[in-house]
């Protein structure tokens, strides 16, 4: 059987602060093991080790990537077992369903030689304070970038033919569902399309959609109705009983960037910068909202104003990313200090014990 490996973001460094969709991503799981008592530099390798071991025993693995450190993981889900292993270190938090039953704390503090950390006590406190400070500076800069993005949208909203935009949405709904209606309640799962990371914006769109039968690439400009169309499509899927995966914008969680309807093997996504892609398969199609619903010549009329907005927006994104880089460098120092104090043999034993427990659940 073909292995199904998915890569997603469930948390993000956004214009509205650090926001997560953990509740939605973990909904329906029977057990969530939460790794606590230490830092991500210890938890991420443990999650990766367990994920790789379990990947040999199950046909489906879903990796939850960290927005803080590229290449690290916030969690791994094994849908076949209805189980997840999650990083519970700062600042990751979510509302528990039933502590001790669904959520099981795995305290890793016993793996760390506390005596070795005593000399770093003040430095550890300072690192956390600076990480918090740099993260807040990043969120503020992203917030300012979002305000500038609103300016960017204004000329296009002013020149948007709403009737035509609604017509495009109706066409998309017809393409997706026709007259079909399922006699069941739709499941809606929310996550992020990508994330703002220290290495800039990252997404997994192509991996998430590659095996689907049909992909629609939405082109257009800010304010041309892309997110609004996706929100209407989600509502329609729910009304008709189709399960739907909703991917929110990494900058603004209130906005949508992609919708996947698994039962129809269809995806539709905003394919403009910073996640710009072009059709690569015969079945791929482009929906151009600028051509369909914006007054011709709008780009040219506002060219000078738009250039100024784009420069200011880019500068704010660079400023925010620089703060994420600074926070990441502090995280590295914190993680390295804990890694030096950890008992690797005991950590390996925890990994093996969890894998053994998970295997028995299957």
Cβ 279 vs Cβ 286: under 8 Å: yes
Reported as a single tens digit per residue, the pLDDT across 134-149 is 999 999 999 999 999 9
pTM as predicted: 0.95
**Integer CA distances (angstroms), 197 to 180, 208, 295, in order:** 40, 19, 35
- What is the mean predicted confidence (pLDDT) over 208-229? 97
Most confident of 86-95, 108-117, 175-184: 175-184
Single out the residue of 218, 221, 242, 215 nearest to residue 230, CA to CA.
218
The confidence band for 216, taking pLDDT boundaries of 50, 70 and 90, is very high
The rounded percent of the chain whose pLDDT value lies above 70 is 99
So what's the pLDDT on residue 163? Answer: 97
The confidence band for 223, taking pLDDT boundaries of 50, 70 and 90, is very high
11: left (phi over 0), alpha (psi -120 to 50) or beta: beta
Indicate if the pLDDT at residue 362 is higher than 70. Answer: no
Q: What's phi and psi for 20, nearest 5 deg?
A: -125, 160
- What is the mean predicted confidence (pLDDT) over 42-60? 95
- What are the E-state strand segments in 66-199? 73-78, 83-87, 103-107, 188-192, 194-197
Reported as a single tens digit per residue, the pLDDT across 70-79 is 999 999 999 9
Cβ 192 vs Cβ 251: under 8 Å: no
Q: What angle do CA 58, 63, 69 make, to 5 degrees?
A: 150
Cβ 176 vs Cβ 186: under 8 Å: no
Indicate if the pLDDT at residue 1 is higher than 60. Answer: no
Higher-pLDDT residue of 110 and 83 is 83
| Separation of alpha carbons 309 and 153, rounded Å | 10
So what's the pLDDT on residue 270? Answer: 98
What does the domain layout of the chain look like in residue ranges? 4-111+343-361, 160-294
Q: In the numeric block, which tokens belong to residue 173?
A: 């709904």
Reported as a single tens digit per residue, the pLDDT across 235-284 is 999 999 999 999 999 999 999 999 999 999 999 999 999 999 999 999 99
- What is the mean predicted confidence (pLDDT) over 110-114? 90
3-state helix, strand, coil in the chain (%, to 5): 50, 25, 30
The confidence band for 2, taking pLDDT boundaries of 50, 70 and 90, is low
Q: Alpha carbon 350 to chain centroid distance?
A: 28
| Separation of alpha carbons 345 and 8, rounded Å | 30
Reported as a single tens digit per residue, the pLDDT across 273-329 is 999 999 999 999 999 999 999 999 999 999 999 999 999 999 999 999 999 999 999
- Burial class of residue 271 in the structure, from the number of CB atoms within 10 Å of its CB (0-12 exposed, 13-18 middle, 19+ buried): buried
Rg (CA), the chain: 22
Reported as a single tens digit per residue, the pLDDT across 160-196 is 999 999 999 999 999 999 999 999 999 999 999 999 9
End-to-end distance of the chain based on CA atoms, in angstroms?
Answer: 17
Cβ 58 vs Cβ 7: under 8 Å: no
So what's the pLDDT on residue 329? Answer: 98
How high is the mean pLDDT of the chain? 95
Residue 260, helix vs strand vs coil:
strand
């Amino acid at each position: 059987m073909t292995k199904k490996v998915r890569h997603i973001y469930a948390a993000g460094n956004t214009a509205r602060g650090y926001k997560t969709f953990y509740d939605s991503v973990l909904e329906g799981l029977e057990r969530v093991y939460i790794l606590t008592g230490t830092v991500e530099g210890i938890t991420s390798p443990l999650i990766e080790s367990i994920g790789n071991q379990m990947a040999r025993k199950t046909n489906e693995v879903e990796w939850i990537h960290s927005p803080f450190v590229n290449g690290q993981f916030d969690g791994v889900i094994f849908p076949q077992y209805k189980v997840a292993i999650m990083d519970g270190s700062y600042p990751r938090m979510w509302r528990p369903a039933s502590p001790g039953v669904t959520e099981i704390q795995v305290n890793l503090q016993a793996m760390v030689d506390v005596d070795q950390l005593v000399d770093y006590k003040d430095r550890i406190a300072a690192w956390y304070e600076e990480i918090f400070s740099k993260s807040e500076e990043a969120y503020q800069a992203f917030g300012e970038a979002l305000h500038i993005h609103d300016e960017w949208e204004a000329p296009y909203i002013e020149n948007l033919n709403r009737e035509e935009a609604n017509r495009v949405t109706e066409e998309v709904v017809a393409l997706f569902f026709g007259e079909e209606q399922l006699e069941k309640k739709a499941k809606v799962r929310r996550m992020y399309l990508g994330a703002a990371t220290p290495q800039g914006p990252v997404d997994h769109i192509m991996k998430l959609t590659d095996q689907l039968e049909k992909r629609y690439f939405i082109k257009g400009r800010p304010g041309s109705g892309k997110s609004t169309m996706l929100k209407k499509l989600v509502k329609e899927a729910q009304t008709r009983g189709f399960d739907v995966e909703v991917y929110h914008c990494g900058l603004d969680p209130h906005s949508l960037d992609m919708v996947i309807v698994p039962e129809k093997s269809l995806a539709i996504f905003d394919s403009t910068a910073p996640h710009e892609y072009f059709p690569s398969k015969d079945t791929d199609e482009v929906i151009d909202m600028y051509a369909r619903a914006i007054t011709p010549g709008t780009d040219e009329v506002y060219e000078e104003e738009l250039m100024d907005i784009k420069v200011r927006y880019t500068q704010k994104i660079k400023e925010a990313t620089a703060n994420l880089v600074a926070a990441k460098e502090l995280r590295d120092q914190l993680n390295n200090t804990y890694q030096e104090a950890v008992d690797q043999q005991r950590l390996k034993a925890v990994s093996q014990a969890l894998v053994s427990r998970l295997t028995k659940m299957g």
